[in-house]
Structure 1
Amino acid sequence: MTAITFTVNGTPAPQGSKTRTRYGMFESSRRVKPWREVVTQAASIAADNACLLGPLHPPYRVDMWFYIKKPRTTRATHPVAPTIGDLDKLARACGDALTTSGLIQDDRFIVSLHVDKEWAGEDGPGVIISVEEFGR
Structure 2
Amino acid sequence: MTVTFTVDGTPAPQGSKTRTRYGMFESSKRVKPWRDLVHAAAVRAGDDACLLGPLTPPYRVEMRFLIAKPRTSRAKHPVAPTIGDLDKLTRAVGDALTSAGLIEDDRHIIALTASKAWAVDEKPGVTVRVTEI
Aligned residues: 133
Distance 1:82 1:124 in 2: 21
Counterpart in the other structure of 2:109: 110
Distance 2:74 2:118 in 1: 12
Which 4+ runs in 1 deviate beyond 4 A?
A: none
Q: Deviations over 1:20-61 (max 9, x none)?
A: 000000000000000000000000000000000000000000
Q: Which runs of 5+ in 2 are unaligned?
A: none
TM norm structure 1: 0.97
Compute the displacement of 1:112 (Å).
0.2
Give secondary structure in 1 for the equivalent of 2:46: helix
Give the letter for the 1:15 counterpart: Q
User: Which residue number corresponds to residue 124 of structure 2?
Assistant: 125
The residue type paired with residue 110 of structure 1 is I
Q: CA RMSD in A?
A: 0.5
Distance 1:34 1:128 in 2: 17
- Rounded Cα–Cα distance in structure 2 between residues aligned with 1:29 and 1:40: 18
Residue type of the alignment partner of 1:132: T
Q: CA deviation at 1:122?
A: 2.5
**Aligned with 1:46: secondary structure?**
helix
Show structure 1 runs of 5+ residues with no match: none
State the SS of the aligned residue for 1:108.
helix
